[in-house]
Structure 1
Amino acid sequence: MPNAMASITGNVPATVQRGLAGALVAAALAWSVPAHADIFADNDARRAILQLRDTVAAQNDRLNALSRQVTDLEKRVQAVQNGLAETASQHDQSTETMDHLRGKTEDLAHQLAILQKNQHDFYNDLDQRLHKLEPLTVNVDGKTVQVDRHEEQDYEAAVSEFRSGDYHAAAQAFRSFTARYPASAYGAAAQFWLGSSYFALKEYSAAVAAQRTLVSRFPDSPHVPEALLNMAASETAMGEVRSARVTLRRIVHDFPGTDFAKLAQQRLAALPAERRPSGHHTSPRKKHPEHS
């Protein structure tokens, strides 16, 4: 009987086991009553035991079902917790990734801004360089010509020195200009101002040489008659009256009807008489007989 009880109640909770034990005790007591008591017959006891066994089995099934449900719920809860943890981790990773991407974007934007500025500065510098290399169209001595920008700037700087009265600086500037730009459209003008600078410095021999270079290299220049006047003035200042007279007569001959020719005639008239060499005597003219 105890073994039977153990087999029946092995998986039953304690409260159920206590109820079952009580029922079995009652059944045993009923079994011990004389047969004539007729309270629990063998068939009735057997049915009671079977019913009790069915009840215990049903409760076991229910308990097992509940246990499975609890286990399933625990698994679901664990899955939800795992999912939440994974979601939180993914969220953290996403946040970290977004922060990283945001930082990269800001860095790239900064680099792009620097690149755009460098490109802008490069093109501005290139434009300025190209602009400096482009020739200037200017009017020189009545002719429209193209000159280099540096050439034009150097010429104007030299002229400014002359106009300011710094003739030493002007002479140096015009010497440098004619050497640096031998084929310049400003060549004749620069040569004239070089001779004029020497004349202002009373370096008459250098003035004559400079103006003679102008006349020989640029015979068609409008500066030629004025250069010849400057030569004549330098020759006069050096006492070379004969040379001055030749130069002035050339102006009158080559540029008739011009203001330069008129000025040359005035200066010719103002020239002192040429000195005759000492020891030179003029023989008296012989009188010729008059013809009737």
Structure 2
Amino acid sequence: MQQRLRQLCAVLALAGALPAQAALFSDDEARKAILELRAKVTALEEAQKRLASSQDLQDQLQTLRRSLLEISNQNEALRAEMARLRGANEQLTRDLADTQRRLSDQLQGFDARIKQFEPQKVSLDGQEFKVEPEEQRQYEAAMGLLRRGEFAQAASAYESFLKRFSASGYGAAVRFWLGNAQYGQRAYAPAIATFREFLKLNPQHPRVPEALLALANCQIELKDSKSARKTLDELIKAHPGSEAAQAAKERRASLK
């Protein structure tokens, strides 16, 4: 482009010299040369305009490319941020689930610990009542001793129970089994006292026939046949259909 401009300048300089050399050219030739020069100048000016327009377009394209690149970068940054937030949300969801699970486990453990101190409903010998956990534990421990034939330890455990839990719903059962533990030790007089107390406090208890038979057995062991016969007669009369009454008839028949 710069070379063509230099050529144009040279032509224009030549055209300026034409009047001085008019004698060398005819008028038509000079006019024709001038018209050609003007056409070339016009073409060069148009080329310059197109070049300038093309440069503007290139600048606009560059600006557009930069804008698109910025938008692309912003879009990538936005995607990265969305991915980060999505990951953070998933982590929060997992953390929440873990927290809820731990809380549930803690609540279950707390409920279990609370239940250890709450009264429990117990059904025993046809009766329902509530007992404290420690009552239940001590009663079952004493029963375990009795089942293993550790009569002295069982009797001691039952006596301790009655002192500590005097109003317990286990009271009737504890007195009945205390009498049996004493009988197992051959402590017949204490056993008689225990069975009499049981009968006095629990006249409607389902184990009354068994207690009467056990009382008669203690009396027999003490050679008190008269009292034993009286107790057996009472049992047979008051509870004729019981298994204890059938056993009482056999024991009475053996008495002299």
| Fold similarity call, TM over 0.5 | yes
**1:146 counterpart SS class:** strand
Q: Which one has the largest radius of gyration?
A: 1
Q: CA deviation at 1:254?
A: 2.0
TM-score (norm 2): 0.71
CA distance in 1, matches of 2:68, 2:201: 100
Kindly tell me: are residues 78 and 92 of structure 1, through their superposed partners in 2, closer, same or farther at Cα, counting changes over 3 Å?
same
Match of 1:262 in 2: 249
CA contact (8 A) 1:175 1:194 kept: yes
Q: Give the number of the structure whose residues are more often helix, by fraction.
A: 2
Q: Which has the higher contact order (CA 8 A, sep 6+)?
A: 2
Superposed counterparts of 1:95-106, under 5 Å = 95-106=79-90
> In structure 2, what is the equivalent of residue 279 of structure 1?
none
Instruction: Determine whether 1:86 maps to 2:41.
Output: no
Residue 5 of structure 2, aligned match among 16, 22, 25 = 16
Matched to 2:14, the amino acid is V
Q: 2:242 aligns to what?
A: none
Find out whether 1:71 has 2:56 as its counterpart.
Answer: yes
Q: Which residue of 2 aligns with 1:278?
A: none
Paired position in structure 2 for 1:286: none
CA RMSD of aligned residues (A): 3.9
After TM superposition, give the deviation of residue 247 of structure 1 in Å: 3.2
- The answer on 1:31 being equivalent to 2:16 is no
2:232–2:248 Cα contact (<8 Å) kept? yes
Amino acid at match of 1:15: R
Q: Distance in 2 between matches of 1:262 and 1:103?
A: 86
Residue matched to 1:174: 158
Partner of 1:108: 92
Distance 2:37 2:197 in 1: 147
The TM-score, its normalising length taken from structure 1, stands at 0.64
What amino acid is aligned across from residue 75 of structure 2 in structure 1? H
**Alpha-carbon displacement from aligned partner over 1:217-251 (angstroms, at most 9, x marks no partner):** 112334345434544555666x6x6xx35632431
Aligned equivalent of 2:178: 194
What secondary structure sits across from 1:255 in the alignment? helix
Equivalent position to 1:146, from 107, 113, 128: 128
Deviation at 1:153, TM superposition (A): 6.5
Aligned counterpart, 1:40: 26
Q: CA deviation at 1:53?
A: 3.8
Is the 8 Å Cα contact of residues 251 and 261 (structure 1) preserved in structure 2?
Answer: no
Q: Which amino acid aligns with 1:52?
A: L
Q: 1:163 aligns with which of 147, 165, 178?
A: 147
* Aligned counterpart, 1:284: none
Task: Give the 5 Å matches for 1:197-276.
Answer: 197-231=181-215, 234=218, 244-245=224-225, 247-256=227-236, 258-259=245-246, 261-262=248-249, 265=252, 269=256
User: CA 1:176 to 1:40, structure 2 compared with 1: closer, same or farther past 3 Å?
Assistant: farther
Question: 2:149 is paired with a residue of what secondary structure?
Answer: coil
Alpha-carbon separation, structure 2, partners of 1:22 and 1:255: 156
Q: Distance in 1 between matches of 2:230 and 2:209?
A: 9
